[in-house]
Structure 1
């Protein structure tokens, strides 16, 4: 797994998105952008599902009530990315500053929130990348609660299971299902190498119409989904 994460860190989301396309998989999570430390985040998904307060399990059903995200942070470390499924909500934060501080202390690589996040200056000061739909000052207290963690979730229709590979950078957020990780990474590495060679050809003075010809279209072409 550590080798897979290292290979993922050497890529960007555009190459991975193209590879996901070629394997007939969802190519990206739409609408998320970097809002804190301006570096990429790459690692294994540790998932958190949020919902309205009424959706929180009763005390005793899953242990004592706790603040959203805390169990996932305590269970995570280097090579992990916290993934918060909050159904795109921007009326309150699905992530905040104390969580960011705790995540940074534990060496967590980054946080992806399908919704809003707050205390982003604190996250940036801690060096923690946070990718979300928007910034807000509005607390989750009384507005949202943790439904579960460590279970499969969806981000804008893209399924994410614990242990899937997540890469987030200035280009967006992509998710590689763990079962397809080796194949998708190999394809992404081929695409990245081919595009680096094309960039070198442009730098050497070759016309872009020649460099980005049929070979480029084949390189990034879609693979038809296999029928199941």
Structure 2
């Protein structure tokens, strides 16, 4: 059960060099490097083309239709943090827009992941403030009910602990536990190196059937060819 009405001011972030080592890799590569875990639901989409973000999570637990706690969270941001906002129940209201982005950017925020709605999309794109959300929605919110900041949350079905690293791009959003950042970065690098060689072979016309030695297992599984 979530703690309500709590702001944790001290969270443990992984070393900056580990975050920087992970940041260049795509979400799909990181997801595979973690054993195909860590993804948020695929409805979480960038609000403008080309949005991308990687950074340490400052978590927020919102109440539906209420963005009070996003203002509270901004005070807790350190440079390179990403706000990761979950909600106590489903809500697609426009919790976040240009003014909050301006405030968060002034504190060094790298972006926002929100299982809710946001608005002012053209302005966010002009600022190049990356946001990944479940909806774009002009509907405004109130400031009436407290939630929490820097508590463990579940955002779009993915558990997020304050200080975890979130990476988001056109393929989705992935969460890397803080304790695994260096390991996952190294595994991702090895995957990318291996894929470079495979890409060359595919470009030269070699089939995956042969590269991955699939023909015999397919035959054993009962696949037949008919001319």
TM-score tier after normalising by the smaller chain length: 0.7 to 0.9
Residue by residue, what CA displacement relative to the aligned partner does 1:50-72 show, whole Å, maximum 9, x if unpaired? 0147xx9xxxxxxxxx9331232
- Judged with a 3 Å threshold, the aligned counterparts in structure 2 of structure 1 residues 145 and 119 are, in CA distance, closer, same or farther, namely farther
Q: In the comparison of the two structures, how many residue pairs are matched?
A: 199
C-alpha displacement of 1:200: 2.0
Q: Could you tell me how far apart the structure 1 residues matched to 2:31 and 2:17 are?
A: 20
Is contact 1:87–1:114 with CA below 8 Å preserved after alignment?
no
Q: Could you tell me how far apart the structure 2 residues matched to 1:121 and 1:176 are?
A: 30
C-alpha displacement of 1:213: 4.7
* Aligned residue number for residue 160 of structure 1: 160
Unmatched 5+ stretches in structure 2: 1-14, 215-227
Structure 1 runs (4+) greater than 6 angstroms displaced: none
TM-score normalised per structure 1:
0.78
Is contact 1:37–1:123 with CA below 8 Å preserved after alignment?
no
* Aligned residue number for residue 86 of structure 1: 87
* Aligned residue number for residue 3 of structure 1: 17
* Aligned residue number for residue 217 of structure 1: none
Q: Could you tell me how far apart the structure 1 residues matched to 2:163 and 2:60 are?
A: 13
TM-score normalised per structure 2:
0.78
Q: How does 1:26-105 map to 2 (within 5 A)?
A: 26-30=37-41, 31-36=43-48, 38-52=50-64, 67-86=68-87, 89-105=90-106
Give the SS at the match of 1:75: coil
Residue by residue, what CA displacement relative to the aligned partner does 1:166-198 show, whole Å, maximum 9, x if unpaired? 000000000011122222222222222211221
Superposed CA RMSD: 2.3
Is contact 1:118–1:135 with CA below 8 Å preserved after alignment?
yes
Larger radius of gyration: 2
Unmatched 5+ stretches in structure 1: 57-65, 215-228
